[in-house]
A and B are shown apart, each in its own frame.
Chain A
Amino acid sequence: MNNLATSTEPVYESALEKYSTNFVSDNWQIKETKKLSYVLIRGLQDDERFLSALNSLGLIMPEPMKITVNDNRTFIWVSPDEFLLVLESNDKIEFIDKANKAFSNMFAYVIDNSGSYTNLTISGNNYLDVMAKLSPYDYLNLKKHSALSTNLAKAPAIIFRSRSDSITILVRFSFADYLWRILENASSEYT
């Protein structure tokens, strides 16, 4: 891969930069969505003040193991006191600023975790067969707007469904290459 020193502008790379991460076939489709921002929000799900702070930021707290989606933002329940917001990169700085103000004087915090995740969406006739090779969870019964954190093969991942016919995987940056190769291995019999 290229030496980035020659660039005059900062170069953004994903963990899967060396691969072509957009593959389409009837049985298997995988697409990486790059350049999103990931912001961790910490706060107690039963804390009224925290809830209204979220509302003031345009966020609806999801039920446990669910996501809420609006305005191009996906808000994911991770734990009773941890939520992950997926949003466009351009909005991140403004959002974090607003959130810091909204959360001042309360036990709630916003943390930029944008470098941590690689975003892969999978679909196609056999995408559930591929998932079945990687994880014991019953993905057939993962309903739309549901989410879970688990391991895919041996990579920690957050998995959610925005649409009924596909699944989105957020895998940690340092595990992305491994998961990509596992997915290639698992999907090869269908492509």
Chain B
Amino acid sequence: MSYLEEEDYSYAGEALIARPSIPEEVSDEDWGDYLFMRKNPKGKHIEQWQHSSGCRKFFVVERSTIDNTIYSSHKMCETQNRLNNEKS
């Protein structure tokens, strides 16, 4: 990260949270988990960022919440493929 990244990119929350495909079948409690409960780890966090001042694309980053080290970054479609593979 640098000044450029701090100013040009926006944080967009924990990644890999899939919206329930049929929300009506989800209980209030599970829906609440989807809305509010997050892993909040001390250490590696897989999260979404947007290049808001640039290409406006969202992507996925593995970052340390302890010292901001960036371990890896991935295009959003790679992550979605991974999610879909995990589901099946």
Does A78 touch B at the CB level, under 8 Å? yes
Interface SS majority for chain B: loop
A154 to B45, CA, bound (A): 29
Please, which residues of chain A bring their CB within 8 A of the CB of B24? none
A79 to B4, CA, bound (A): 18
A135-151, CB under 8 A of B: which get 1 and which 0?
11100000000001111
Q: Could you say which of B2, B53, B56, B57 contacts A150, with CB atoms under 8 Å apart?
A: B53
Q: Does A151 lie within 8 Å of B7, measured CB to CB?
A: yes
What is the interface residue range for chain B against chain A?
A: 10 to 19
A136 to B4, CA, bound (A): 6
A161 to B72, CA, bound (A): 31
Q: Does A78 lie within 8 Å of B8, measured CB to CB?
A: no
Please, which residues of chain A bring their CB within 8 A of the CB of B53? 149-151, 156
Whole-angstrom distance between the Cβ of B88 and the nearest chain A Cβ: 25
Report if A150-B8 is in contact (Cβ < 8 Å); known contacts: A136-B2, A136-B3: yes
Task: List CB contacts (< 8 Å) of B48-73 with chain A.
Answer: 53-57
Most buried by B among A78, A82, A150: A150
Interface SS majority for chain A: strand
A78 to B55, CA, bound (A): 6
Closest to A157 in B: B53
Closest to A156 in B: B53
A62 to B11, CA, bound (A): 29
Task: List CB contacts (< 8 Å) of A60-95 with chain B.
Answer: 78-80, 82
A151 to B54, CA, bound (A): 9
